[in-house]
């Protein structure tokens, strides 16, 4: 059998959610509201949340009046999210690398919280973005919310212990020149666990090259308050691009 990618197992693990339990629902809602003020999408527009996690962004999008499809690779995430489904909000399991099973065309597609850059080569990223482009009408929008790789590398913490209830996560980080690795080890009930996150260090110039052809970049922001992007100081790299 082919070896499973790290994100195929880690994102579906209950320990992933324990480690990242501090993620702020109110912050996510405020971010979506700020985006809508900037984008001014028409109420009732059809949008897609690609790699939606447990649906915190998708839920807010539906509450703002959009028709929302949302998918994630993690079965556990989607099982948690489906309790919020209604006629305007659909959750389903899907792999970002594969063609979408739905035949919908979208007014906007959102990819939040560094749910990009998990592949080995830029060509794989390019193929994925081209596939996304086929799901968007001309002049429709794509949002990519990514880490600011330059700042992350500058302030990279080589090692730390993170305590969540009774669990102690032993975390180490390295940058190998192309990818940022986070090694996560912990024990529970005398069983040892080991996961490794790996994300490509993609910069604004990389995204410009990846989006070229199918998209035109309209805006670059550096945080969830939509302040201007600064490569040395911003926490995020948030791109809004228009389908050509």
Look-up of token digits 């926490």: 235
Total domains present in the chain? 1
Establish if 178 belongs to a structural domain.
Answer: no
Helix (H, G, I), strand (E, B) or coil at 60: helix
**Nearest alpha carbon to residue 237 among 210, 213, 214, 181:** 210
**Over the stretch 29-51, which tens digit does the pLDDT of each residue have?**
899 999 999 999 998 999 999 99
- Residue pair 239/231 in contact by the 8 Å Cβ criterion: no
Cα 53 to chain centroid distance, Å, stands at 8
Percent of the chain with pLDDT over 90: 70
Establish if 102 belongs to a structural domain.
Answer: yes
pLDDT for 5: 61
CATH at 42: 3.40.50.150
Band of pLDDT at residue 24, cut at 50, 70 and 90: low
- Residue pair 41/21 in contact by the 8 Å Cβ criterion: no
**Over the stretch 221-242, which tens digit does the pLDDT of each residue have?**
999 999 999 999 999 999 999 9
Establish if 87 belongs to a structural domain.
Answer: yes
Establish if 79 belongs to a structural domain.
Answer: yes
Band of pLDDT at residue 170, cut at 50, 70 and 90: very high
Look-up of token digits 């339990």: 21
Structural domain of 82: 24-147+202-243
Q: Where are the alpha helices (DSSP H) in the chain?
A: 6-10, 14-19, 25-39, 56-63, 75-81, 122-133, 149-154, 204-211
Band of pLDDT at residue 4, cut at 50, 70 and 90: very low
Establish if 191 belongs to a structural domain.
Answer: no
Establish if 53 belongs to a structural domain.
Answer: yes
- Residue pair 107/143 in contact by the 8 Å Cβ criterion: no
Main-chain dihedrals φ then ψ at residue 239, nearest 5 degrees = -115, 135
> DSSP letters along 77-131, please?
HHHHHGGG-BTTEEEEE--TTS--SS---EEEEEE-SS----SSSHHHHHHHHHH
**Nearest alpha carbon to residue 186 among 12, 10, 54, 22:** 10
Reading across the β-sheet that carries 159-164, which strands appear in turn?
A: 159-164, 167-175, 179-188, 191-200
Residues counted in the chain: 244
Establish if 184 belongs to a structural domain.
Answer: no
Establish if 214 belongs to a structural domain.
Answer: yes
């Amino acid at each position: 059998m082919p070896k499973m990618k790290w994100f195929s197992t880690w994102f579906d693990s209950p320990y992933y959610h324990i480690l990242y339990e501090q993620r702020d629902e109110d912050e996510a809602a405020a971010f979506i509201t700020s985006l809508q003020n900037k984008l001014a999408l028409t109420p009732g527009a059809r949008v897609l949340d690609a790699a939606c996690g447990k649906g915190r962004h998708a839920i807010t999008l539906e509450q703002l009046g959009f028709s929302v499809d949302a998918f994630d690779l993690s079965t556990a995430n989607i099982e948690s999210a489906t309790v919020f489904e209604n006629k305007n909000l659909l959750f389903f399991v899907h792999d970002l690398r594969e063609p979408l099973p739905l035949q919908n065309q979208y007014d906007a597609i959102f990819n939040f919280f560094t749910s990009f850059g998990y592949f080995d080569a830029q060509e794989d990223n390019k193929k994925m973005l081209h596939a996304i482009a086929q799901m968007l009408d001309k002049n429709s929008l794509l949002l990519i919310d990514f880490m600011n790789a330059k700042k992350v590398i500058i302030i990279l913490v080589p090692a730390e212990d993170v305590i969540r209830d009774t669990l102690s996560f032993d975390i180490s980080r390295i940058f190998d020149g192309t990818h940022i690795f986070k090694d996560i080890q912990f024990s529970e009930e005398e069983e040892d666990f080991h996961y490794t996150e790996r994300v490509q260090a993609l910069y604004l110039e990389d995204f410009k090259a990846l989006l070229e052809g199918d998209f035109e970049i309209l805006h670059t922001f550096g945080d969830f308050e939509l302040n201007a992007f600064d490569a040395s100081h911003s926490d995020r790299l948030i791109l809004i691009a228009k389908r050509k």
